[in-house]
Copies of this chain bind each other. A is one copy, B any other.
Amino acid sequence: MDLGNTITAQQPAVIWLTGLSGSGKSTIAARVSEELERRGCDVEILDGDIVRNVFPTGFSRQERNEHIRRMGFIAGLLNRHGVWVICSFISPYRESRDFARSQARRFLEVYLATPLSECERRDPKGLYMRARRGEIRQFTGLDDPYEPPEHPDLVLDTSRISVEEAAARVVAAAFREPKGMG
């Protein structure tokens, strides 16, 4: 018997949304949070835009990794106290995402695989335009790499499915029956 699969369906998880700017992370995080709260879960969202004030960071590889390690530490701390934590960070590097996984009691890595061309077409904050003009450097997907997850728990492409559908799939994964017990 694989004890790794004997989690109960409602065991709180860190739901880690990773993907390019504009891939749909924050929007999906908000919808998933609503749905989990509707089901009575204790939920916290950690979002790059929300925490920037208290946790400013630079954009070198080292600074980004340190920042994501911190966010992973905080998410894990909450999760170990029974909180569902929805994290919405580009988190481009495998190393610090793996650290975040190591901190959580249960971790779902959700890869927002929306293509760069679509993210750039949306450009909700005008960041791609500024990066193309050279006003922003080290921009993930343009002049800084994004390392896709090798074994994500879920892959979603919001150029092919709606936000509603994407959020529903995350919630289904969060509440899935343990393997072999369904």
* B74 and A44 contacting across the interface, CB-CB below 8 Å: no
List the B residue with the shortest CB-CB distance to A54: B73
Q: Can you give 17 contacting A-B residue pairs, CB < 8 Å?
A: A42-B81, A42-B82, A44-B77, A44-B81, A54-B69, A54-B70, A54-B73, A55-B70, A55-B73, A74-B74, A74-B77, A77-B78, A78-B78, A78-B81, A81-B81, A81-B82, A81-B83
Please report the C-alpha to C-alpha distance between residue A26 and residue B69 in the assembled complex, in whole angstroms.
25
| Residue-wise interface mask of A (64-107) relative to B, using a CB-CB cutoff of 8 A (1 in contact, 0 not) | 00000110011001100111000000000000000000000000
Please report the C-alpha to C-alpha distance between residue A10 and residue B42 in the assembled complex, in whole angstroms.
19
Residues on B with C-beta less than 8 A from A82 are 42, 81
Please report the C-alpha to C-alpha distance between residue A74 and residue B72 in the assembled complex, in whole angstroms.
12
> In angstroms, how far is the closest chain B Cβ from the Cβ of A66?
8
| Residue-wise interface mask of A (47-68) relative to B, using a CB-CB cutoff of 8 A (1 in contact, 0 not) | 0000000110000000000000
> In angstroms, how far is the closest chain B Cβ from the Cβ of A76?
10
Please report the C-alpha to C-alpha distance between residue A70 and residue B53 in the assembled complex, in whole angstroms.
10
Please report the C-alpha to C-alpha distance between residue A86 and residue B112 in the assembled complex, in whole angstroms.
37
> In angstroms, how far is the closest chain B Cβ from the Cβ of A146?
24
> In angstroms, how far is the closest chain B Cβ from the Cβ of A74?
6
> In angstroms, how far is the closest chain B Cβ from the Cβ of A141?
27
Please report the C-alpha to C-alpha distance between residue A98 and residue B69 in the assembled complex, in whole angstroms.
26
List the B residue with the shortest CB-CB distance to A83: B81
Please report the C-alpha to C-alpha distance between residue A41 and residue B44 in the assembled complex, in whole angstroms.
21
